[in-house]
Amino acid sequence: MAVRSDLNSWRVVGAGAIFFLGIASFHGSLPSTRISSNPLTQRPSEVRPFDPDRQSETSAESEDLSISLSRMEPCGDCGGGRAFTFEVRHKRRGTLTSFTIRNETAQIDEIAIVNSSRAIVLGSVSGTVRIVNVVDLEANSVRDSFYCHFPSIYGRFIAYVKFAPRHPSPLVWSFVYLVYDVLASPEQNRLSGGRGLEDRERVGIPIYPLENVERKVYEPVILDEEEARQIAEVEANPLAEEEAHSLGSEGLFWLQEGVVAFVDRWKRKNHLVVVDVRSGLA
């Protein structure tokens, strides 16, 4: 496949059996954080103000299904303090089913219907942390869930930034970008050697930076333990700032299903990154 951009200088920096990746770099700030003005571009999921006590009505509809938040009630066993029940209307069959989310979700933000058997419920754990609930509509239960930042959905794929602790060291933390395939199993959406399905922080397949792709690791790869220890002793170290990756656009944008684009800030340059995962993640 060909990687295209409006920028003149492009080079394919990573290609393999999993996906293709293209990068362009340029100095300075972006005149606009929009990747494309094409109305067909799938923009990042809109973040609602975090106010669980004022939960908004939330619903989604497809040709076959209609899903809506029907009930919210206190839940002492739920990390988010609430249980959320959703009504699923099967239009062709003329039947109603339901499922309930009982976990750290404190607020429901968005529902996305993938197909007749899968749906995604995006929620918030706090004002900065999002949670993704992958729902099996045939079993009427949550199939998988995980924390993230800047989630963006298009069809079967969710692109996002790996969850970071609330107070990480700003000197050594670096963004890692991942993609989750809703039609794959929870196990297939985790790197081997992980802590299992109970791990809601290390979830998805890394797509960038390339060091994480090649090493198949979730943790930022910018410093070894000794370097991190030495830098942590310095109040402001320019090396750590330059080596750390950060999101330079307003979010991650799907140019089409399976092709995601975003701007990554690294070594004081903005890098426009486009990743094609249409051939699969594994």
Report cis status (omega within 30 of 0) of the bond before 186: no
Q: How far apart are CA 218 and CA 225, in angstroms?
A: 15
Predicted TM-score (pTM) of this structure: 0.82
pLDDT digits (tens, 9 = 90+) for 28-66: 443 333 333 344 446 677 778 999 999 999 999 999 999
Residue 264 corresponds to which amino acid?
D
As given in the structure block, the two tokens for residue 190 are 């985790």
Place of tokens 């969710």: 158
Q: What does each of the 282 residues of the chain score in pLDDT, given as a tens digit?
A: 222 333 333 333 333 334 455 555 544 443 333 333 344 446 677 778 999 999 999 999 999 999 999 999 999 999 999 999 999 999 999 999 999 999 999 999 999 999 999 999 999 999 999 999 999 999 999 999 999 999 999 999 999 999 987 655 545 578 999 999 999 999 999 997 556 778 899 999 999 999 999 999 998 876 555 655 565 555 555 556 677 899 999 999 999 999 999 999 998 899 999 999 998 876
